[in-house]
Amino acid sequence: MIDIKLIRENRDIVKENIKKKFQDEKLDLVDEVYELDKEYRECKSKGDSLRSEKNNLSSKIGELMRNKEIEEANKTKEKVSKMQDEITSLEEREEELEVKIKEIMMVIPNIIDESVPIGKDDSENVEVEKFGEPIVPEYEIPYHADIIESLNGMDKDAAGRTSGQGFYYLLGDIARLHEAMIAYARDYMISKGFTYAIPPFMIHSDVVTGVMSFPEMEAMMYKIEGEDLYLIGTSEHSMIGRFKDQMLKKDELPIRMTSYSPCFRKEGGSHGLEERGLYRVHQFEKQEMIVLCEPEDSMKYYNDMWKYTVEVFRNMDIPVRQLECCSGDLADLKVKSCDIEAWSPRQKKYFEVGSCSNLGDAQARRLSIRVKGENGNYYLHTLNNTVLASPRGLIALIENNYQEDGSIKIPKVLQPYMGGKKKIEKK
Distances (CA, A) of 160 to 276, 279, 281, 305: 10, 16, 12, 37
Rounded Cα gap, residues 426 and 142, in angstroms: 15
Q: Is residue 117 part of a domain?
A: no
Domain harbouring 81, CATH code: 1.10.287.40
135 shares a domain with 250: yes
291 shares a domain with 251: yes
Q: What is the pLDDT along the chain (427 residues), one digit of tens a residue?
A: 899 999 999 999 999 999 999 999 999 999 999 999 999 999 999 999 898 888 888 778 777 777 778 888 878 888 888 888 899 999 999 999 999 999 999 999 999 999 999 999 999 999 999 999 999 999 999 999 999 999 999 999 999 999 998 899 999 999 999 999 999 999 999 999 999 999 999 999 999 999 987 677 777 889 999 999 999 999 999 999 999 999 999 999 999 999 999 999 987 544 455 667 898 899 999 999 999 999 999 999 999 999 999 999 999 999 999 999 999 999 999 999 999 999 999 999 999 999 999 999 999 999 999 999 888 999 999 999 999 999 999 999 999 999 999 999 999 999 999 999 999 998 7
Q: Tell the burial category of 266 from Cβ atoms under 10 Å away from its Cβ (0-12, 13-18, 19+).
A: middle
Number of domains in the chain: 2
Specify the pLDDT at position 275: 67
Q: Is residue 307 part of a domain?
A: yes
Q: How many C-beta atoms surround the C-beta of residue 389 within 10 A?
A: 22
pTM for the predicted model, two decimal places: 0.89
352 shares a domain with 404: yes
Distances (CA, A) of 84 to 89, 96, 97: 8, 18, 20
The backbone torsions φ and ψ at residue 109, rounded to the nearest 5 degrees and listed phi first, read -65, 150
Specify the pLDDT at position 270: 41
| Containing structural domain, residue 189 | 122-424
Rounded Cα gap, residues 87 and 83, in angstroms: 6
145 shares a domain with 10: no
17 shares a domain with 148: no
Q: How many C-beta atoms surround the C-beta of residue 305 within 10 A?
A: 25
Q: Which SS3 state, helix, strand or coil, does residue 310 take?
A: helix
